[in-house]
Amino acid sequence: MEGYEIRLIHAHEGGRNVAYNCDKADSEAKIIRIAFLNDRSREDFLGEVEYIRYLFEHGGSVSDVVNSRKGNLLEEITHNNHTFYICLFNKAKGKMLVENNYQYREGVPITEYYYNCGKVLGKMHQLSKGYTPVHSRYNFFDKYNADYIDKLIPDSLSLLKEKLVDLLTTLEGMDRNHESFGMVHFDYCDGNYMIDFDTGQITVFDFDNSCFCWYLFDLAGLWTQGVGWTQFEPDAGKRKKFMDDYFEVVLEGYRSETAIEPSMLDKLPLFIQVTLMENIVDAFEVMRNNGEEPSCDEELSYRIKCLEDDIPYMGFFDDIYSCEEPFDYEERDIRL
């Protein structure tokens, strides 16, 4: 990295790595990622970077890993008896949507963006169907299981625990065949890809949560991402119409690269509930890792309410939803 200007990237809440932008005139920009927590193993990291390299080499629109001088995708450094895992990536071309004030390409319909979101995801899933890992990432149920839920979620939220275990029981009974279950990104959202605003091309990064799961989970994440485009619309019927149209274009892009069975798509409401579970678990993990007492702000309370009361589609078409305060609900006082 000699000659590169190296600048720290501001970390988001709950971030598990330190990352740096690396810029140099007449050279492709890079990202250094240093993992310092002991929550992941060498096997986890190798499983991640090998999957990224596989996707890149087979035409997936992802930020490739850069080999070290020793030819490795991952370097391991031990200092004062603490192990750091270091990776270098080519920086994705373009900008995040938020950096462009959520404005898409001038003169181009926003439906191109919806289509491309689905298409890039479909390509990754199609490649995953032919992927055999050397170092394997974990399985969804290795993390999301009744024992972990019981330890993580406070006992005062007993109904939530019960609903989460019921949800997991339903998932455990689902088919995990080659066409429906494989390596997924597990955090496919506009914070984890760049858009080339000259061409519309999307380049995906941050596979730190990638695991073996149903492909529909990533699609459900795309559905939840779409609500932001119409969250301030007061008419629930119009919100529903927008989401149906939005997701139809996403699926058109997705199906241009890979197939998905109609019977699986019928389970979209179930997997939107699974995305809520992931959000809730993540929120409590962040509190635990930061040494904070468990608490529920308005947004977390809203997500919990949707699961406890079996309200589908994140409550987006339900009376619980307020366009003035999207996805907010009264704070809960958790007493341990």
- Mark which of 38, 70, 91 sits at the end of a domain: 91
- Count of CA atoms in the C-beta half-sphere (13 A) of 81: 0
Examine the domain organization and report whether 301 and 195 are in the same domain.
yes
Q: Write the CATH number for 142.
A: 3.90.1200.10
Q: What is the CATH number of the domain that holds 71?
A: 3.30.200.20
Query: Domain residues for 145?
Result: 94-336
Does residue 83 sit in the same domain as residue 203? no
Are 165 and 198 in the same domain? yes
Burial class of residue 314, CB neighbours in 10 A (0-12, 13-18, 19+): buried
Asked if 143 and 212 touch (Cβ cutoff 8 Å), the reply is no
Do 102 and 156 belong to one domain? yes
Residue 314: what residue type?
A: M
User: What pLDDT, on the 0 to 100 scale, is given for residue 334?
Assistant: 63
Q: pLDDT at position 130, please?
A: 97
**In this predicted structure, what is the pLDDT of residue 38?**
86
Alpha carbons 218 and 116: distance in angstroms, whole number: 14
If one counts the domains in the chain, the total is 2
Q: Can you tell me which residue has the tokens 């974990």?
A: 138
Residues 127, 81, single domain; the answer is no
The residue from 74, 91, 108 where one domain ends is: 91
- Same domain? For 66 and 25 the reply is yes
Residue 11 has a pLDDT of 82
Question: Could you say which of 30, 61, 91 is where a domain stops?
Answer: 91
The reply to whether 253 and 138 lie within a common domain is yes
Report d(CA 336, CA 333) in Å as an integer. Answer: 10
Q: From CA 148, how far away is CA 142, in angstroms rounded?
A: 9
What distances in angstroms separate CA 139 from CA 86, 212, 267, one per listed residue? Answer: 23, 5, 20
Helix (H) or strand (E) holding 209: none
Q: Residue 110 has which token pair?
A: 């926003």
Question: What ranges make up the beta strands (E) of 119-221?
Answer: 181-184, 193-195, 202-204, 211-214
| Rounded mean pLDDT for each run of 10 residues along the chain, 336 residues in total | 94 85 95 92 97 98 97 96 96 96 96 98 98 97 97 96 98 96 98 97 97 98 97 97 98 98 97 98 92 92 97 97 93 63
